[in-house]
Every structure is written in C-alpha cells, then in structure tokens.
C-alpha cells in the first residue's frame, strides 16, 4: 500500500504540490486526466483550485477524487 496524501497546494497549469505521509513531496499534473469524463469538470480552473485532502485522497467534490495509489505512483518527487 502506498502512502496517503497529507497536504495539497494547487499550482499553475493544473499541477498539485503534494506531501505524503512518509514525508515525500512532489508535483502531480492533472493535465493528462482532464479529458477523462470523470475529471472533465476540472477544466474549470475555479473547481480545480478547490482540491483538498480527504482521507488521503485528493477530492474536488463528492463525485471527483483521485486515489492515493495513483497520486503516489505518478507524482514526480522533489529532490530532498
């Protein structure tokens, strides 16, 4: 099981700055996902900016979220 997200900050160009429970930090781009039907609404940047941590997931609404496994595996980790 991969670590869960503990904090999120929205950056420009649909990028999330994430911190995981193991202390690792990195950037996750949502751009490749925006054409998937479930994430299509996030093209509205005002909605995208509402990203929040919910039980280790990133969520934008009751219907739109991203699992910690996908986030961890696809995040470009920052050098320590």
Q: What per-residue confidence (pLDDT) applies to 26? A: 98
User: What CATH number is given for 5-77 in this structure?
Assistant: 3.30.2020.10
Residue 65 pLDDT > 90, yes or no?
yes
Distance CA 57, CA 68 (A): 5
pLDDT confidence band for 1 (50 / 70 / 90): confident
For 31-36, which contacts have Cβ atoms below 8 Å and span 24 or more sequence positions?
33/66
pLDDT of 57 over the 90 cut: yes
What CA–CA distance (Å, rounded) separates 69 from 57?
Answer: 9
pLDDT bin (cut points 50, 70, 90) of residue 24 is: very high
For the chain, domain boundaries: 5-77
């Amino acid at each position: 099981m991969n670590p869960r997200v503990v904090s999120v900050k929205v950056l420009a160009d649909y990028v999330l700055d994430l911190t995981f429970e193991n202390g690792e930090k990195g950037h996750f781009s949502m751009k490749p996902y925006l054409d998937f039907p479930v994430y299509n609404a996030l093209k509205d940047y005002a909605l995208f900016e509402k990203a929040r941590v919910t039980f280790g997931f990133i969520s934008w609404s009751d219907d739109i979220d991203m699992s910690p496994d996908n986030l961890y595996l696809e995040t470009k980790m920052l050098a320590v």
